[in-house]
Structure 1
Amino acid sequence: MSYAEVIGDPISHSKSPLIHNFWASALGLKVEYRAAHVTADGLADYVAARRADPDWAGCNVTMPHKEAVLAHVDEVDALAAKLNAANTIVRRADGTLVAGNTDVDGVAEPLRRHAIGGYPAHVATYVQIVGAGGAARAAVLGAVAAGFSDFDIFNRSPGRADALAELAGLPFGTGNPLDALGPIRNPREGRNPNEPGAVQRYSHILINATSMGMHGENPVQVDLGQYYPDTIVFDMVYAPLETPLLAQARGAGLRTIDGLEMLVGQAATAFERFFGVKPPRERDADLRNLLLEAST
C-alpha cells in the first residue's frame, strides 16, 4: 500500500494525518498517511531507509528539519531553494527525492478567497508581516502569489526584516521594530474632501508569522481598533486556534484567517503531489469540524 508521512520532533501534535486520511477515505483511495517521530540525529537514516521503499510516496517535513532535510535529497525545487526550507519530499519511481515547499500555497489560497478594497477611494493594500523567519518568508511569497506587492515587515530585529525584503525583491522600504506596528494612514485623511487625495485610504492585511500567541501567551501587541473594517488579520498559529490576536480582530469586526486554513491549504498541494489526485475540497467544512473536534 502506498503511504506518506509527516516527520518532525516532536510530532504527536500534528494534525496532518487526520487531514490526509480524511481526504483519502473520501476519495476511496487505498493509501495511508502516518506520523513518524524523527530526531535530528536520525534524519539521514530515515531518508535513506524511505528512499529504498517503493511504497513510500514521500513526506511532509515539520520542525526542526525543514532546512536540514535539503542536504539529504537529490533535487530542490525553485521555491524551496528560495525559502531555504522544504516542507515536502516526494519520491519518484526511480527513487530520486525532490524537496519542495507548499507553505506558500497555504498562505496564498486563503488570501485569494478574501477580496479586499472595492471602494472608490481605495489606493493600495499594505501587507504587514510580523516576523522575519521561515514562516515570514513563506508569508511574503504567499502574499505575492495572491497578487499583493506592497509590504511592511515588523520584527524585533529590523535588520532581519531588511534581509527578508531583499529576498522577495519587492519595494518594502526598510524593516520596522515591533512597537511600530499599526495602520498606515493617508496624511491628508479627514481634511476637506474636495482636497485632492484627501479621501484616499489604504487597506491592510496583517499576518502574524511568529510563535507569538501560541498557547495564548505573549500575544502580538497591536491595537486593531485603529484599523479599517476591511482589514484582514491572518494568524499562522493554530494552537490555540483562537489566538489573542484573532480574538481581538473578531471583537473589532475585522475579517480573520486562522492557522487551520493555512494548514489545510498547504496540505492540499502536498496530497496531490504524494497521491496524484486533488483532494476533495468541497468537503472542507466537514474536515474543519473534524479538526476542531480533535482539538477539544
Structure 2
Amino acid sequence: MLEINYNTKLLGVVGENIPYTLSPAIHNFSFQSLGINAVYLAFDIKKKDFDQIFRGLVKITYGLNVTIPYKEDAMKYVEQTDIIKRIGALNTIFEGKGYNTDYLAIKSLVSERVDSFNTCTIFGAGGASRAAIFALADLGCSISIINRTKEKAEKLANELEEKGIKIKINSYCNADIIVNSTPNSDFVPDECINGKLVIDFVYKPVVTSLIKKAQSKGIKTINGLEILVRQAMEAEKIWFGKSLEDEEVVKYLYARKLVW
C-alpha cells in the first residue's frame, strides 16, 4: 500500500473523456513493485480548460503522459526533442521536455518480432498512425496508407513528405506489415490480413477479431495491450531510469480483470 507523504512524486495522464484509461493501474502497480514513492492520476480536462490547467500541471508534476486529444496541443508547453518535432506529437513529459514513447514502443516491438520487411500498410490516418509511420519508416519500411477519407490521408502524406517520408495512398493491400491504427479492428478487410506481421492498436479485447484472423493464418502479431504497456514502461525509464518487465504488468492487468 502506497503511503503518500510530502516526498511522494505526482505523475499522471492528461486527456479528455478518459475514464477508460489503464494508465493509473499500470503505473501505480509498477511504482509500488519498484519501490518508487510516487502516485499516478488521470487528469480528465475539457478542451476549453486545457491551456490554463495543463500549464500548471507541467510545473507541479514530476512527469506526465498526454493522450487524445492533446498530443499536439501539449507541444507548445515543453522543450521539443528532435523526435517529437518530426512526429508532430508527444505523449510523455519530463523536466520540461517532450518525448514520444509510442514511437519507441512500436519500433522496439517490431524489431523484436520480425527480422526483415520492406512494405507496411497502415489503416487509418489519425493521430495514432503518426508514431507507427515514423517508427516503421525509420526501420526502413515503405509506407502506404488506406483511410476511409482519402483527403485526410493525402493531407497527412503531404505533411510527412516535407519531413522526408514518402507515403503512398490506397496503393496496396498486400504488405509485409499490416497496421490497424483505427478504433475498429474490423476496418481491415480479410483479404488484407497477410504478410509477416499484423499490428492492432485496439487493446480491449486484447485478442481482437483482427488479431484472431492473423493468428489463424500463422501471422505474427502485436496487440494493443503490448503497445500500451511497452510505451508506459518506456515512459518510466525516462522518469526514473528503470521499469518492470512488460510481462509482469500484463499479468497484473489480467489478474485484476482490467483486460480480457
TM-score in terms of structure 2 length: 0.85
1:234 aligns with 2:206: no
| Corresponding residue for residue 3 of structure 2 | none
Match of 2:20 among 13, 35, 43: 13
C-alpha displacement at 1:208, in angstroms?
A: 1.0
Matches within 5 A, 1:115-130: 115-117=114-116, 125-130=118-123
| Corresponding residue for residue 138 of structure 1 | 131
Contact kept in structure 1, 2:137 and 2:143, CA below 8 Å: no
Aligned residue pair count: 248
| Corresponding residue for residue 103 of structure 2 | 104
| Corresponding residue for residue 286 of structure 1 | 248
State the alpha-carbon separation in 2 of the partners of residues 128 and 134 from structure 1.
16
State the alpha-carbon separation in 1 of the partners of residues 130 and 110 from structure 2.
16
State the alpha-carbon separation in 1 of the partners of residues 241 and 91 from structure 2.
19
C-alpha displacement at 1:132, in angstroms?
A: 2.1
Structure number with larger C-alpha Rg: 1
Matches within 5 A, 1:32-181: 32-53=39-60, 56-71=61-76, 73-90=77-94, 92=95, 97-117=96-116, 125-145=118-138, 147-156=139-148, 157=150, 158-160=153-155, 162-163=157-158, 166-167=161-162, 169-172=164-167, 174-176=168-170, 181=172
**C-alpha distance after superposition, 1:266-295 (max 9, x if no partner):** 112211222x221022xx223112223212
What residue ranges of structure 2 are gaps of 5+ in the alignment?
1-7
**C-alpha distance after superposition, 1:226-271 (max 9, x if no partner):** x35xx11001111222222112111222111100111112112211
| Corresponding residue for residue 233 of structure 2 | 268
- Where 2:13 maps in the other structure, the secondary structure is strand
**C-alpha distance after superposition, 1:166-199 (max 9, x if no partner):** 1552454x311xxx65326xxxxxxxxxxxxxxx
Contact kept in structure 2, 1:87 and 1:101, CA below 8 Å: yes
Q: Which has more helix, going by share of residues?
A: 2
C-alpha displacement at 1:37, in angstroms?
A: 1.4
State the alpha-carbon separation in 2 of the partners of residues 167 and 106 from structure 1.
24
State the alpha-carbon separation in 2 of the partners of residues 165 and 9 from structure 1.
26
Contact kept in structure 2, 1:140 and 1:168, CA below 8 Å: no
Cα separation, partners in 2 of 1:42 and 1:132, compared to 1, 3 Å: same
1:221 aligns with 2:189: yes
Contact kept in structure 2, 1:181 and 1:222, CA below 8 Å: no
- Where 1:207 maps in the other structure, the secondary structure is strand
C-alpha displacement at 1:52, in angstroms?
A: 4.3
Cα separation, partners in 2 of 1:85 and 1:260, compared to 1, 3 Å: same
Amino acid aligned to 2:89: A
What residue ranges of structure 1 are gaps of 5+ in the alignment?
118-123, 185-203
- Where 1:59 maps in the other structure, the secondary structure is strand
State the alpha-carbon separation in 1 of the partners of residues 79 and 105 from structure 2.
22
State the alpha-carbon separation in 1 of the partners of residues 183 and 158 from structure 2.
20
Contact kept in structure 2, 1:6 and 1:60, CA below 8 Å: yes
| Corresponding residue for residue 200 of structure 1 | none
- Where 1:127 maps in the other structure, the secondary structure is strand
Q: Among all aligned residue pairs of Structure 1 and Structure 2, give the percentage whose two residues are the same amino acid.
A: 28
| Corresponding residue for residue 189 of structure 1 | none
